[in-house]
Each structure stands twice: as structure tokens, then as C-alpha cells.
């Protein structure tokens, strides 16, 4: 099976892609971002965020915080 075949499979069967992504996250021990994680993130970054001047650097710090805890980085909106 080559990459074109896999890409074709996922284009036709979005549910399969979703199921494989969920399986991979479970296998790797990655949690989805939830309210508990959001509260922990806010506690960890409340003081630094209020003093942050470089939003891009803060975003990198937050992504690193999530990654090191095995939390899936949430998408926009």
C-alpha cells in the first residue's frame, strides 16, 4: 500500500480517518483538551500572560506545556 492509496482511502471514508486518529492518540497516551486541562493551563499561565509582551513566544510556551503533559493541542474555535 502506498501513500496515494492511503490518502484515497481517507478521502472517501472520513470516519476511518477519525477512528485511526483516535486509535493513535489512545496508543500514544494523548488526552483531548477538556475543562480540567483548561483550568490547569489558566492557573499555570495567568501571571505570565498578564505580563506577556510577545504573544508568539507565549503561544509556543503554552503549546510546549500541553505537549509535555500529553494533551492534544486544540484547534481554532
What percentage of the chain reaches a pLDDT higher than 90? 39
The pLDDT of residue 51 is above 70: no
Place of cell 478521502: 11
Helices (H), 1-77: 3-12, 14-28, 35-50, 55-68
Q: How far apart are CA 66 and CA 72, in angstroms?
A: 7
Query: First CA to last CA across the chain, in angstroms?
Result: 35
Phi, psi (rounded to 5 degrees) for 48: -65, -35
Report the chain's mean pLDDT, rounded to a whole number: 85
**Domain boundaries, given as residue ranges, for the chain:** 1-30, 31-77
Name every residue whose Cβ is closer than 8 Å to that of residue 35 and which is 6 or more positions away in sequence.
Answer: none
pLDDT at 31: 92
pLDDT-based confidence at residue 64 (cuts at 50, 70, 90) = very high
pTM value is 0.67
**Confidence bin at 47 (pLDDT 50/70/90):** confident
Amino acid at each position: 500500500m502506498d501513500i496515494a492509496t492511503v490518502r484515497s482511502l481517507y478521502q472517501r471514508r472520513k470516519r476511518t480517518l477519525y477512528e485511526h486518529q483516535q486509535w493513535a492518540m489512545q496508543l500514544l497516551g494523548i488526552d483531548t483538551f477538556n475543562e480540567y486541562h483548561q483550568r490547569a493551563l489558566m492557573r499555570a499561565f495567568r501571571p505570565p500572560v498578564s505580563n506577556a509582551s510577545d504573544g508568539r513566544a507565549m503561544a509556543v510556551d503554552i503549546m510546549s506545556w500541553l505537549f509535555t503533559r500529553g494533551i492534544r493541542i486544540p484547534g481554532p474555535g
